[in-house]
Chains A and B, each alone.
Chain A
Amino acid sequence: MEAEHGLVHRRWWTPYLFLLPGLGMVLTFSLWPFVNTIILSMTDAQILRGGTFTGLDNYVRALDDPAFWTALFNSVLYTAVVVPAVVLLPLALAVLVERKVPGIGFFRSAFYTPVIASAVVVGLMWQWLLRSDGLINTVLGRLQLISEPLPFLTDSTLLLFSAMIVTVWKGLGYYMVFYLAALGNVPRSLHEAAAIDGAGAVRRFFHVTIPSVKPMMLLVGTLSAISALRVFTEIYILGGESGGPGGDSRTLPFLIREVGLGFAGETGYAAAISILLFLLTLVFSLLGHRLSKGDER
């Protein structure tokens, strides 16, 4: 009886012992950096120089900083354009490659290739395509559709849209796989019943396929919104270290890096912008969550 009691006594903490390594990792590498960033955002800390508590000064400064508003606008614009494209285009692609016909594996693999390509390689490839002497301008010029090369990489707005195209292109295959999984779970009987009722392919797509994959569309929308808000590499490679001409194509992560790094890097201010980016991401995430919940009801 005593031995049994001892066994029970040992049991209550045994599971926690197994949790400790994982918990330690999460606390050290996720929660602590997060809390530290919040603390840091309320100081005037610089790199290797401990700061003093300044309250909400950094947040007030951000709201008064034109660079912050430009970056915020660019990030939101990026998200607003990229998310609908990334929700819809991979779905269309998934519907096309879902059918089991000979050679479809090749197309599936081909569409997935950009996903596994390095972001740097992808960026450089698009840079060659979009330059004033690049393939796209050359073709448009030969077809006499343009008289001057289009400034894809030297006009701030066009640069931003060029980067969006790269993001969408690179994400197509990735989200296509999500949709392929969702499409695989749509009961075949629903399609068959709709077909018997006389629904054509287009009607079946809108009335059977779309409602069935709606939860996945919300997931893709939320994930792509988070990715779009964090975009950096595409703009860095296409627009250079300055974030495009005059820095007008900078997004929030770009600004965080610029403010926080280097000899005079202001870690406190960079942390404040990071937290503002976090809040923005949170809004988009909650929106996705809300839509998902509403859909369930």
Chain B
Amino acid sequence: MPLRRLTRLCTTALLAGSLLATAACGVSGSEGEASDEQPERTGKVSGQITFRTLQLKPTFTDYIQGVITAFEKKHRDVKVKWEDVPGEGYNEKLVADAQAGQLPDVINLNTDSFQLLADRGRLADIAALDPEAKGDFIPGAWDQYRLPGKKGVFAYPWYVTPEILTFNKKLYAEAGLDEDKPPATVEEYFDQAEQIARTSGGQVAAFMADPQGRLPGDWQKMGVPILNAKGDAFTFNTAKAVEWAERMRDLYQQGAMPKESLTGSQDINQLYGSGKLVFGPGSPGFIKDIKDNAPKIYAQTAVGEAITGKLGHIGIYTQSLGVRRDTKHPDAALEFAKWVTNGPNQVAFSKKATIYPSNAKGLDDPYFSDKGDGTDPETMARVIGAEELRDAQLDANTPVQWTNQVGDAVNREMHKAIKGDREPAEAVKRAEDAANKILATQQKQQKQQQKQ
């Protein structure tokens, strides 16, 4: 075969494959919405159930296996099949399994996957099937597993991380700030960032510029109403939200934030760990990471209470255990989920990882109130986090209507405002218009689906 014909043949074959792959990328079909009918309990705890966790192997293999073994010993007729899935693509795998009718009986859910599966009627109503469970959990965690417009609670809260404040006290002092007076409001946070930018001469930054993890939390803490009372329209286009964008723009220009941190392409742990950032992430888990990877910076780290501002709430991020709505063994699945999330098991887990129990009894363990000598950041993060959790109200961070599409649309406009490419007032207005357009489309689709 002549070379040219061979080349053409190869081209055609390669093209066909590439084109088909292009057209099919990332998209899959979807089946009809499941009904809201709940499983019936029989009182017989038996059968083989599957339990899926999110990236807990190999670090916590012994702990999880121990919990499973103890459960199987207590309930001889139950066999638990444990599978652990990496974090990358976890939600996509759950969606694929849900489409194929292959969801596990007990599923570890993060906020996104919980909302997705609960909204589509794939999870059992825990409150209906296990009415006494409510009393076991801290209210802030339990209430996270409700959905607007739906009656019921669709998962057992599992481990929790509350929002805290972490900062480099050495850099803080060098900026002329008092480590005993960390910011309590967003406005104070911005004031301090301005002082850091002014005094450091561009050598250190105060915090990251990317608005993605900060909104709508910052706005809520500033008293900006995110939604109207009915929850069917965004109302954040206010003077306060514009003030937020203006201050972010000014701080960005002054060098209070690393330039490339605007798009979230820089690693905050790496920046903080190299002593180039004053405020670290507001998560206790980060403290351990700094302790392991940057001991010098760990020694300079101080921990404070989360910024609450006018909202008065703290943000909490929870993991949960959902039960597949059409499980063949509802009693075994519910009892197992309840077992994993009980007080003693959650406390034991918290002692192995930087997490907190969502179980109210678990939080009473002395482990969470022992301050030691009051200087170790990891110990202080644990104590402060636990104190906050006892009073935690609803998650301050993200209403269900603030979907990732809404967040992306708002972020895009705020990027432009922060960079100085668009007037902050115009950017906030455009952000609200875009968010309302997305919300209206979603509500229209939901209504159409409900009619069918």
Is A154's CB within 8 Å of the partner chain B? Answer: yes
Q: Given the known A-B contacts A274-B22, A275-B23, are A262 and B259 also in contact in the complex, defined by CB atoms under 8 Å?
A: no
Within 8 Å of chain A (Cβ to Cβ): is B30?
Answer: yes
Chain A interface secondary structure, helix, strand, loop or mixed?
helix
Min CB–CB distance A170 → chain B (angstroms): 17
A264:B264 contact, CB within 8 angstroms: no
Question: Which chain A residues in 233-286 approach chain B with CB under 8 Å?
Answer: 237-242, 244-247, 253, 256-264, 266-267, 270-271, 274-275, 277-278, 281-282, 285
Q: A45-B29, A48-B116, A246-B416 are in contact. Are A226 and B23 (CB under 8 A)?
A: no
Bound-complex Cα distance A258 to B48 (A): 38
Q: Confirm or deny: B78 has a beta carbon within 8 angstroms of a beta carbon on chain A.
A: no
With A242-B212, A263-B403, A274-B25 as contacts: A215 and B18 at CB distance below 8 Å: no
Cβ contact of B23, chosen from A44, A260, A277, cutoff 8 A = A277
Within 8 Å of chain A (Cβ to Cβ): is B55? no
**CB proximity to A under 8 Å, residues B33-90:** 33
List the A residue with the shortest CB-CB distance to B15: A285
Q: Are A154 and B263 in contact, CB atoms less than 8 angstroms apart?
A: yes
| Residue A127, interface by CB 8 Å | yes
Whether a CB of chain A sits under 8 angstroms from the CB of B452 is yes
* Beta-carbon contact of A154 and B259 below 8 Å: yes
Q: What mask results when residues 233 to 272 of chain B are scored 1 for a CB within 8 Å of chain A, else 0? A: 0000000000000000000000000111011110000000
Chain B facing A: main interface SS: helix
| B146 beta carbon closer than 8 Å to chain A | no
Tell whether, in the assembled complex, residue A262 and residue B405 are in contact, meaning their CB atoms are under 8 Å apart.
yes
Roughly how many angstroms separate A34 CA and B24 CA in the complex, as a whole number?
5
- Is there contact, CB below 8 Å, between B24 and A37? yes
Say yes or no: B415 contacts A242, CB within 8 Å: yes
Query: For residue B122, which residues in chain A have a CB less than 8 angstroms away from its CB?
Result: 48
Q: Is A63 an interface residue (CB 8 A)?
A: no
Is B293 positioned at the interface, with any CB of A under 8 Å from its CB?
Answer: no
- Interface stretch, picked from B3-11, B172-180, B347-355, is B3-11
Which of A84-92, A94-102, A106-114, A288-296 forms contacts with chain B? A288-296
Q: A37-B24, A48-B95, A246-B421 in contact; A132/B17 too (CB < 8 A)?
A: no
Interface centre among B33, B405, B421 (most CB of A within 10 A): B405
Q: A222 an interface residue at 8 Å Cβ cutoff?
A: yes
Distance in Å from the Cβ of A69 to the closest Cβ of chain B? 15
- State A279–B4 Cα separation when bound (angstroms): 26
For B109-120 the 0/1 string (1 means CB < 8 A from A) is 000100111011
Give chain B's interface residue range (CB within 8 Å of chain A): 35 or more
Tell whether B229 is near chain A: CB-to-CB under 8 Å.
no
B404 interface hit (Cβ, 8 Å): yes
Smallest CB-CB separation from A239: which chain B residue?
B263
In the complex, the answer to whether B3 meets A52 with C-beta atoms within 8 Å is: no
- The answer to whether residues A260 and B26 also contact, given A241-B264, A242-B264, A242-B408 and a CB cut-off of 8 A, is yes
A270 touches B448 (CB 8 A): no
Report B-chain residues with C-beta under 8 Å of the C-beta of A131: 259-260
C-alpha gap A45/B328 in the complex (Å): 28
Closest to A279 in B: B23
Residues on the B chain within 8 Å of A288, using CB: 11, 15
| A229 contacts partner chain B, Cβ-Cβ < 8 Å | yes
How long is the Cα–Cα vector from A246 to B265 in the complex, in angstroms?
Answer: 13
Cβ contact within 8 Å between B403 and A37: no
Q: Which chain A residues border B436 with CB–CB below 8 Å?
A: none
Interface string of B366-389 (1 = CB under 8 A from A): 000000000000000000000000
Q: Indicate whether A52 sits within 8 Å of B416 (C-beta atoms), given known contacts A154-B262, A278-B19.
A: no
A45–B32 alpha-carbon span in the complex (Å): 9
Q: Shortest beta-carbon distance, A235 to chain B, in Å? A: 10
Chain B residues 436 to 452 lying within 8 A of chain A, measured CB to CB, are: 438, 442, 445, 448-449, 452
Measured in the bound complex, the distance between the Cα atoms of B263 and A240 in whole Å is 5
Q: Which residues of B contact A48 (CB under 8 A)?
A: 30-31, 33, 95, 98-99, 116-117, 120, 122
Partner of A219, one of B11, B33, B212, B442: B11
Please report the C-alpha to C-alpha distance between residue A240 and residue B23 in the assembled complex, in whole angstroms.
Answer: 24
**Cβ contacts under 8 Å, A266 to chain B:** 405
Q: Which of B7, B28, B265 contacts A215 (CB 8 A)?
A: B7
Q: How far is the CB of A221 from chain B (nearest CB, A)?
A: 10
Is the CB–CB distance between A49 and B30 below 8 Å?
A: yes
The residues in A between 14 and 67 inclusive whose CB is less than 8 angstroms from any CB of B are 30-31, 33-34, 36-40, 44-52
- 18 A-B pairs with CB atoms under 8 Å apart are A36-B28, A47-B30, A47-B116, A49-B33, A132-B259, A154-B419, A226-B18, A226-B19, A240-B263, A245-B416, A247-B408, A247-B411, A259-B405, A263-B403, A264-B442, A271-B27, A274-B25, A281-B18
15 more CB-based (< 8 A) A-B contacts, given A242-B212, A292-B8: A33-B27, A154-B263, A226-B22, A239-B263, A245-B419, A246-B413, A246-B419, A247-B411, A253-B26, A259-B405, A261-B404, A263-B115, A263-B404, A289-B12, A292-B7
B residues adjacent to A (C-beta < 8 A): 3-5, 7-8, 10-12, 14-15, 17-33, 91-92, 95, 98-99, 112, 115-117, 119-120, 122, 210, 212, 258-260, 262-265, 403-406, 408, 411-413, 415-416, 419, 421, 438, 442, 445, 448-449, 452
Smallest CB-CB A-B distances: 4 pairs:
A240-B263, A33-B24, A240-B265, A262-B404
